[in-house]
Amino acid sequence: MLRLVVRRLLQLIPTLLGLSILLFIWLNRLPGGPASAILGERATAADVARINRALGLDQPIYVQYGRFIKRLLELDLGTSVQTGQPVWDEFVLRFPATVELSVAAMIIAILVGIPLGYLAARRRGGWLDVASVSGSLIGICVPVFFLALLLKGIFAVNLGMFPSYGRLSTGLDATHVTGFAVLDGLLTGELDASGDALMHLVLPAVTLSSIPLAIIVRMTRASVLEVVGEDYIRTAESKGLEQKTVRGRHILRNALLPVVTAIGLLTGGLLSGAVLTESVFAFGGIGSFIRTAIDARDYPVLVGFILFIAMVYVLINLLVDLAYSVIDPRVRVH
Amino acid sequence: MSLQATTKANKVDRLAELTAQSETSAGVSLWREAYRRLKRSKMAIIGLVIIALFVLVAVVGPWVAPHSPSAQLWRGEVFPNKGLFVGPRAGNWFGLDNLGRDEFSRVIVGARQTLLVGVISMLIGLVIGAAVGALSGAAATLGGKVGQRVDTVIMRFTDIMLALPSLLLAVSIAAVMGQSLTTVMVAVGVVQIPTFARLLRGSMLAQGGSDYVLAAKALGVRKRRIALTQIMPNSLSPVIVQATLSLATAIIEAAALSYLGLGNPDPSVPEWGVMLAQAQRFFDNAPMMSVYPAVGIIITALGFTLLGEAMREALDPKLRG
C-alpha cells in the first residue's frame, strides 16, 4: 500500500512540471504580458518597462522559469489583483466552502445514484428503469447554471423554502473552527448555525450533484447489468447463498469498480460546476472568487487556481486508486 | 521443397486470406450490423428526429422567422430597469426580450449559430485529437521501443490536459484570445482534444494485437500502411460515437462560457448560449426569456446524446449477436 502511494506521488512530479511549463507559456502569451496584467490595459510604456525589470522579465527565459518554479515551491502564488491579498491566503480562506459544497453534492450523487442505478438494472424495463435512464440523459443535457437559476427561482424566490444566496443568514454569529459551516456548528454546539448552514447548502448541492448523479446512475446500471449476467453470480445463486450475500458481495462489489473510477474522474467536472453554481448562489467559495477573477482579469488567481485544482485532482485520483485496491483484491499491491 | 517450407508458405497464404477478409467483409459487416440495430433503436430514432428538426431550423431559420432577430421593433414597450417585460402575445409568440426584440424570431434564427458553435468546436477537437491519438496509437503498436516512448510522452501531455477542469482550460484560452464567439469555439474544441486522442489511441492499441495486424506484419506490409489502412479504420467507431456526444457537450459548454462572460457580448446574430447568458440577469422578472433558449439547448443536446448513446450500443461488440 505504501509503495503504491509513493509511486503515485512520484508520478505527480512530471505532471505538475509539465503543467507549470504550460502555465508559464500561457502567462507569457497573455495580451500585453504580466506587466499589463498587473498595471491594467492603460499602462504607459515606461511603466511596463519598469515592471518588466522589477519582475525580471528582461532576463533569459530559463531564468524566468526557474524563478517561477521557485516561487511556486514556496507556495507564493502572487497577489490577487482584486483584493491585494496573497492568492494562497485567499484560497485557504475560501477552500472549505467549496469542499463543503462539492462533498455535499458528491454525497447526494452517490447516495441517490448507486441505489437508483442498481434498482433500475434489477428491474430492467420497469418504470423506475425508464424514468432513471431518461432522467439521467436529460440531467447531463441541462446547463448547470440554468439548473441553478431554475431551482433558485422556484424553491428560494417563489416558494421561499430555502435561502437564495450565501452560506449563513446575516445576523447569525457563528464561530469559525474549521471553515466548514455545517461542521463548525456541530463542533461548537451552535446547532442553529449548523441547521442554517445546511439549509443554505441544499440548493447549491442539489444543483451541483445533477451531472455526477446522472453519470453515476447510468454507470451503476450498466455495470450491474453486466455483472448480473456473469457465471459467478449464477454459481453463487445456485449454491444456495442468501440473496443478501449475492447482492452485496457478488453483484454490488464487482459492479462498483468502474463506478468508483468514474467518481474520481468526475471531480474535475465537479469543480467546473462549482464555479458556475457558486456564482449563481453567491456561495462565497473558491468558485465565486474565480468567477469574479475572470471578470477582473485577475491572472495570479487564475494561475494559482489551475495549479491548485490540478493538485487536488491528482490527489483525488490517488485516493480513488487506493479505494480500488480495497474493493478489488486483484489490483492490491503486496 | 522441404516440408517446413511448405507449411510456412501455407501459413502465409492463410494469413493473407485472413487479412483480405478483414479488409473486405469484417469491417463492413460491423457497420452494416450496427446500422441494422440502430434502425431498431427507439433512442436513435428520437435522437435523429430531434437533430433533423434542429438542422432544418438552423438552415431555414432566417427565412421563416416572422421578424428580424436584431431589430428593436418594440423598444418602447420593455423596461428592464422597472422589471417590465412583455410575455407571449399574438404577434410575438415568445414575447419580447429585454431590448424589445421578438424572442421567437431570435430563438429560430439562433439555431444556426448554435449548430455552428457545436460543429466547429467538435471538429477542432476531433481533427487535432484524432491526429494526436493516431500518432500515439501507431507509435505504440508499431513503433517498437522508441514508439512506446513517444506514446508515453504524448499520453502524459493529454493527462495534464485532462487533469484541468475543462471550463478552466477554456477560460485560460479565452483569457489569451479575448472575448468572442471564435474564442468560445476554440476553447471548447481544445478542451475536447485529449478525449479524442485517448479514445483513438486506446482503440488502436486494442486493435494492435489483432490477428489481422499480425498477419499484415507477417506479410511485410509497410508500417504506415498498416496503421492507416488496417488499424485506423477499425478503430474509428468509438471516435465517431464520441464526436456525436461531443456535439452535445460543446453546445452546453459554450453556453457556460457565455455565462462566464467570455462569449460575444451581444452579437447581431443570436446564439442560444449567449441569449441564455444575457437573459439570466432578468430571471426573477422574466424567467421565460431564459427558458426558451435553455430548452432549445437541452433538447438539442438530448438529441445528440440519444443518437450517440444508441450508436455506442449498436457498435458495442459485447452486445452483438
Answer whether A201's CB lies under 8 Å from A162's CB: no
Q: If you compute the radius of gyration of chain B from its CA atoms, what whole number of angstroms results?
A: 25
Q: Is residue B251, in this structure, part of any structural domain at all? A: yes
B225: amino acid identity, one letter = R
Residues 6+ apart with CB under 8 A from A69: A20
Chain B: closest CA distance from residue A310 (Å): 6
Which chain A residues have a beta carbon less than 8 Å from that of B259?
143, 145, 276
Q: Is residue B271, in this structure, part of any structural domain at all? A: yes
DSSP structural state of residue A86: B
Distance, in Å, from the CA atom of A230 to the CA atom of A223, rounded to the nearest integer, reads 11
Distance, in Å, from the CA atom of B50 to the CA atom of B309, rounded to the nearest integer, reads 14
B100: left (phi over 0), alpha (psi -120 to 50) or beta: left
Which chain A residues have a beta carbon less than 8 Å from that of B284?
153, 157
The verdict on A165 touching B (C-beta cutoff 8 Å) is no
The verdict on A31 touching B (C-beta cutoff 8 Å) is yes
CATH number at residue B272: 1.10.3720.10
Q: Is B210 exposed, middle or buried (0-12, 13-18, 19+ CB in 10 A)?
A: middle
| Residue B82, C-alpha cell as written in the block | 422597472
Give the model's pLDDT for residue B50: 92
Find the closest chain B residue to A315 by CA distance.
Answer: B163
For residue B262, report the phi and psi dihedrals to the nearest 5 degrees: -105, -10
CB nearest to A15's CB, from B163, B287, B294: B163
- Other beta carbons within 10 Å of B261: 14
Distance, in Å, from the CA atom of A78 to the CA atom of B152, rounded to the nearest integer, reads 33
Chain B: closest CA distance from residue A194 (Å): 29
Give the model's pLDDT for residue A41: 60
In chain A, which among 254-273 make CB contacts under 8 A with chain B?
268-269, 271-272
Give the model's pLDDT for residue B119: 92
- Other beta carbons within 10 Å of A206: 20
- Other beta carbons within 10 Å of B150: 16
B11: amino acid identity, one letter = K
Q: Is residue B4, in this structure, part of any structural domain at all? A: no
Which of B41, B46, B117, B167 to substitute to test the interface with A, most A CBs within 10 Å? B167
CB nearest to B160's CB, from A22, A268, A302: A22
Q: If you compute the radius of gyration of chain A from its CA atoms, what whole number of angstroms results?
A: 24
| Residue B153, C-alpha cell as written in the block | 510522452
For CATH 1.10.3720.10, list the domain ranges present in chain A: 94-333
Distance, in Å, from the CA atom of A202 to the CA atom of A166, rounded to the nearest integer, reads 12
Determine which helix (DSSP H) or strand (DSSP E) holds B116, and give its type and residue range: helix B103-142
Residues 6+ apart with CB under 8 A from B180: B263, B264
Separation in Å, CA A32 to CA A27, A39, A232, B172? 10, 10, 64, 15
Q: Is residue B183, in this structure, part of any structural domain at all? A: yes
Name the packing angle between helices A61-73 and A2-29 (round to 10°): 130
Separation in Å, CA A265 to CA A112, B30, B163, B173? 18, 31, 9, 22
Give the model's pLDDT for residue B298: 92
Cα dihedral: A324, A329, A331, A333 (round 10)? 100
CB nearest to B165's CB, from A149, A269, A299: A269
Residues 6+ apart with CB under 8 A from B116: none
Find the closest chain B residue to A27 by CA distance.
Answer: B176
For residue A122, report the phi and psi dihedrals to the nearest 5 degrees: -70, -30
> Spelled out in words, what is the top-level CATH class assigned to the domain A94-333?
mainly alpha
Q: Is residue B25, in this structure, part of any structural domain at all? A: no
Hey, are the CB atoms on B167 and A144 less than 8 Å from each other? no
Domain that holds residue B269: 42-319
Which of B195, B260, B313 to substitute to test the interface with A, most A CBs within 10 Å? B260
Hey, are the CB atoms on A309 and B164 less than 8 Å from each other? yes
The verdict on A294 touching B (C-beta cutoff 8 Å) is yes
Which chain B residues have a beta carbon less than 8 Å from that of A299?
175
Give the model's pLDDT for residue B319: 55
Which chain A residues have a beta carbon less than 8 Å from that of B46?
none
B98: amino acid identity, one letter = N
DSSP structural state of residue A44: -
Give the model's pLDDT for residue B260: 79
Residues 6+ apart with CB under 8 A from B110: B61, B69, B269, B270, B271, B272, B275, B293, B296
| Residue B245, C-alpha cell as written in the block | 456526444
Coil, strand, or helix at residue B79? strand
Residue from A188, A172, A203, A189 nearest A283 by CA: A203
The verdict on A155 touching B (C-beta cutoff 8 Å) is no
Residue from A46, A21, A25, A23 nearest A35 by CA: A46
**What does the buried/exposed string (b/e) look like for B220-233 if buried means 16 or more CB atoms within 10 Å of the residue's CB?**
eeeeeebbeebbbe
CB nearest to B156's CB, from A18, A140, A269: A18
> Cell match 452546453: residue?
B252
Q: Is residue B13, in this structure, part of any structural domain at all? A: no
Residue from A102, A134, A117 nearest A274 by CA: A102
Number of domains in chain B: 1
Residues 6+ apart with CB under 8 A from A65: A21, A24
Which chain B residues have a beta carbon less than 8 Å from that of A290?
168
CB nearest to A143's CB, from B157, B168, B256: B256
pLDDT under 50: residue ranges of chain A: 333-334
Q: Is residue B81, in this structure, part of any structural domain at all? A: yes
The verdict on A313 touching B (C-beta cutoff 8 Å) is yes
Which of A141, A208, A277 to substitute to test the interface with B, most B CBs within 10 Å? A141
Residue from B263, B248, B160, B167 nearest A271 by CA: B167
pLDDT in tens, chain B (321 residues): 344 444 555 555 555 555 444 444 445 566 777 788 878 888 888 999 999 999 998 888 888 877 777 777 777 777 777 777 777 777 777 777 777 787 888 888 888 888 888 899 999 999 999 999 888 888 887 777 888 888 888 887 787 777 677 777 777 777 777 777 888 888 889 888 988 888 888 888 877 777 888 888 888 888 888 888 778 877 887 888 888 888 998 888 888 888 877 777 666 778 888 888 888 878 877 788 888 888 989 999 999 999 988 888 777 665 544
Hey, are the CB atoms on A146 and B167 less than 8 Å from each other? no
Distance, in Å, from the CA atom of A211 to the CA atom of A50, rounded to the nearest integer, reads 48
Residue from A105, A106, A328, A119 nearest A220 by CA: A119
**Residue pLDDT, tens place only, B219-242:** 888 888 888 877 887 788 788 888
Answer whether B316's CB lies under 8 Å from B259's CB: no
Give the model's pLDDT for residue B321: 41
- In DSSP terms, which residues pair with B84 in a beta bridge? B79
Residue from B177, B194, B51, B171 nearest B118 by CA: B51
Distance, in Å, from the CA atom of A131 to the CA atom of B282, rounded to the nearest integer, reads 32
B297: amino acid identity, one letter = I
Give the model's pLDDT for residue B127: 93
Q: Which residues of chain B are at the A interface, by a Cβ-Cβ cutoff of 8 Å?
A: 156-157, 159-160, 162-168, 171-172, 175-176, 178, 248, 252, 255-256, 259-262, 276, 280, 283-284, 287, 290, 294, 297-298, 301-302, 305-306, 309
Answer whether A99's CB lies under 8 Å from A47's CB: no
Distance, in Å, from the CA atom of A37 to the CA atom of A301, rounded to the nearest integer, reads 12
Hey, are the CB atoms on A306 and B256 less than 8 Å from each other? no
Give the model's pLDDT for residue B3: 44
- In DSSP terms, which residues pair with A86 in a beta bridge? A79
Coil, strand, or helix at residue B89? coil
Q: Is residue B15, in this structure, part of any structural domain at all? A: no
- Other beta carbons within 10 Å of B10: 10
- Other beta carbons within 10 Å of A130: 13
3-state secondary structure B255-280: HHHHHCCCCCCCCCCCCHHHHHHHHH
Hey, are the CB atoms on A272 and B168 less than 8 Å from each other? yes
Hey, are the CB atoms on B276 and A143 less than 8 Å from each other? yes
